[in-house]
A and B are shown apart, each in its own frame.
Chain A
């Protein structure tokens, strides 16, 4: 069944303009949706989009198409699925058009609703998240299996339990073998700092990451939200510590918007507050030039650029260098917007994968370590390093793992 055959129905409803009216009516009902009307067609969005060159409809052209009453062209376009939700366009728009969160998300929602043109890998990720609470399709009962290898006690809070800090581990940190060592590192750091913490264990489900991975799948986010706040409500805690910037964004922005304000911080922010203590403990040197990659969800979306750098500077031997595109100008690793599942799809339509561009940029600064704070980046940059032939010259390391090494906590955990 092609996109063509199902879109025939749209045209049968009258002029193509009707479908556009319907789309715009939906947009206008949403907060900030009316900003779509304020677009001045300056092209800042298209210019700052890292994949704009591969899109038949760049963000600016998408709005132009809407104005011409041609939303069907957008429904047929593959550009919608190339968006990595890096937020560059929205960040730079001079009139504040919510491109990522309204325009792209709205178009995706329409296509997801029709079951048309949806890349099957993305479909599978949504179905697995819906069923198992994680996009990998692994058993929800195995979500906290990683704690067996932690080497320190990781308290699992049952209903009625309390702790000062609730540590939200996240899907990647829990299940992905390449990220588990970093999760374990963080567990050991929290232990060393005597933090009274606990995790939800198997009651934790994907945060939903509405604005990024789950663009257009509000229903899924809704179900996960309700499950998660019910589980959170059963425990007593003062603040939430999140390992994953995607989950951090979900809690900080969306949960708050939906009526559940939480005192939440990303682990780099949490630890940066304790920087002097960490600096005292960090006795082991990591002598290297380190470039920090600002993740989109922590950086552009939530404005946190300094905490990770503060942490890196507590490590003796580390010399921070900056990539040309740093902080709000950082180049996305290419894993957002569901693109983490769409590598095949995206790579067939673009030239150089974003992750490869980024690691080459890091290597050019002379950095030996590319430090990151988002678990998606570990496999993406590691693979890009191999494909770019930079193996041996550049290493990807999660900040928690580097800190734990500096404090001498990484024994028995494979590097």
Chain B
């Protein structure tokens, strides 16, 4: 049996591989070992140095370099990737289901003539076939997909695999090659990357997070949540819809396009638990969720849940915590 090639397209920012890249490697490595396939970690960058001597869970690392690959420009990646992937005889391409990966899926799918499967939370191989498991409709549905034909592209949801398993003990061999395509006159020009303005709270460094979801209903209702957060020595964070409404700054957003957090306590209030949010918090130590809808997907990732009215619960909870602390 010919060992197939699994290629993980790495994501990196500021010279560091992102967590999702390690998760993709963990996924690829597990799949490859189960059927005797091989894993290549593919990095597109302007400089290979930051990625040298990393003990990644891959059979080899290929770094394609070009000055034009120094920024996350989707047009640059789209021009280079098809050629490299064909050259590597990729059978399964794994991208992150992230803002970077999603940009590439369509053009890549077309250029390689291969189906792209998004929202993957699981990937396995059965003999020569690939079976993907994806979540859709806010996490309420799970689909099993078996792409037909040869090459397939899978977009892996962050948080689906343990990033620790993306590293091994030894360092795989690294090959550096120049870009097969020139990156002149691209239709997209990367101007600059704007870092978020950090205000007083960095939600990634807080031990206790009270998450406000749509169920909080109004900006005014954040006040009791702030009081609860204060009582627990934590901070209030939010899901995307709450931030989009302008009730909290974007630096408080947890989820795919916001922050990834791992506090000791994540209290999700009025949060439905759509995958775009849960991928940013599912590794939290203790997750307690309150949502009126007993079928809300948040209860799939929470350790404890309740369907009481959060606006009723919060003041009572704050009081009881105060009492409990007073008795200490």
Q: Is the CB of A178 within 8 A of B315?
A: no
Complex interface: chain A residues within 8 A of B221 (CB): 343-344
A191 within 8 A of partner (CB): no
Decide if B315 touches A343 in the complex (CB within 8 Å): no
Query: Knowing A120-B245, A386-B315 touch, does A178 contact B309 (C-beta < 8 A)?
Result: yes
Query: Which B residue sits closest to A176, measured CB to CB?
Result: B309
Nearest opposing residue in chain B for A346, CB measure: B220
Q: Could you tell me the distance between the alpha carbons of A383 and B245 in the complex, rounded to whole angstroms?
A: 24
A335-365 contacts to B, CB under 8 A, are 341-345, 347-348
- Within 8 Å by CB of B220, from A120, A177, A343, A386, lies A343
Q: CA of A348 to CA of B218 in the docked complex: distance in angstroms?
A: 12
Q: How far apart are the CA atoms of A279 and B308 in the complex, in Å?
A: 36
Asked whether A34 is an interface residue with its Cβ less than 8 Å from the other chain, the reply is no
CA distance A341 to B312 in the complex (A): 16
Q: Contact: B218 with A177, CB < 8 Å? A: no
Question: Chain A residues near B311 (CB, 8 Å)?
Answer: 383
Query: A121 near B: Cβ within 8 Å?
Result: yes
B217 lies within 8 A of chain A by Cβ? yes
> Beyond A120-B245, A386-B315, is A177–B309 a contact (Cβ under 8 Å)?
yes
Residues of the A chain whose Cβ atoms lie less than 8 Å from the Cβ of B245: 120
Interface residue range, chain B: 10 to 19
Any chain A CB within 8 A of the CB of B219?
A: yes
Known contacts: A120-B245, A386-B315. The answer to whether A344 contacts B220 by CB under 8 A is yes
Chain A 240-283 residues near chain B, CB threshold 8 A: none
Instruction: Compute how far the CA of A254 lies from the CA of B236 in the bound complex, rounded to whole angstroms.
Output: 44
Report how far A343 CA is from B309 CA in the complex, Å: 17
Look across to chain A and name the residue whose beta carbon is closest to the beta carbon of B293.
Answer: A138
| A344 and B219 in contact, given A120-B245, A386-B315 (Cβ under 8 angstroms) | yes
Residue of B nearest to A178 (CB): B309
CB proximity of A120 to chain B, nearest CB, Å: 6
A347 partner residues in chain B, CB cutoff 8 A: 220
Q: Shortest Cβ distance from B306 into chain A, in angstroms?
A: 12
Are the CB atoms of B218 and A121 closer together than 8 Å?
yes
Please state if A344 and B309 are interface contacts (CB–CB under 8 Å).
Answer: no
Residues of A within 8 A of B217 (CB): 121, 341
Interface flags, B284-307, vs A, CB<8A=1, else 0: 000000001000000000000000
Do residues A341 and B218 form an inter-chain contact, with CB atoms below 8 A? yes
Distance, CA A204 to CA B33, complexed state (A): 58
Per the 8 Å Cβ criterion, residues 174-203 of A in contact with B are 177-178
- CB-CB under 8 A from A121, the residues of chain B are 217-218
Chain A residues whose C-beta falls within 8 Å of the C-beta of B312 in the assembled complex? 178
Residues of the A chain whose Cβ atoms lie less than 8 Å from the Cβ of B315: 386
Residues 155-187 of A, flagged 1 when their CB comes within 8 A of B and 0 if not, give: 000000000000000000000011000000000
Q: How far is the CA of A406 from the CA of B309 in the complex (A)?
A: 28
* Residues of chain A with a CB closer than 8 A to B308's CB: 177
Residues of B within 8 A of A342 (CB): 218
**Cβ contacts under 8 Å, A177 to chain B:** 292, 308-309
How far is it, in angstroms, between the C-alpha of A120 and the C-alpha of B312 when the chains are bound? 23
Report the nearest B residue to A177, measured CB to CB. Answer: B309
Nearest chain A residue, comparing its CB with the CB of B218:
A344
Provide the bound-state CA to CA distance between A342 and B292, in Å: 21
Q: Interface readout for B199-234 with A: 1 if CB under 8 Å, 0 if not?
A: 000000000000000000111110000000000000
From residue A157, how far is it (CB to closest CB) to chain B in Å? 28
Q: Which residues of A contact B (CB under 8 A)?
A: 120-121, 177-178, 341-345, 347-348, 383, 386
Binding site for A on B (CB under 8 A): 217-221, 245, 292, 308-309, 311-312, 315
Can you list 23 A-B contacts (CB < 8 A)?
A120-B245, A121-B217, A121-B218, A177-B292, A177-B308, A177-B309, A178-B309, A178-B312, A341-B217, A341-B218, A342-B218, A343-B218, A343-B220, A343-B221, A344-B218, A344-B219, A344-B220, A344-B221, A345-B220, A347-B220, A348-B220, A383-B311, A386-B315
Closest 8 A-B residue pairs measured CB to CB? A344-B220, A344-B218, A344-B219, A343-B220, A121-B218, A177-B309, A347-B220, A386-B315
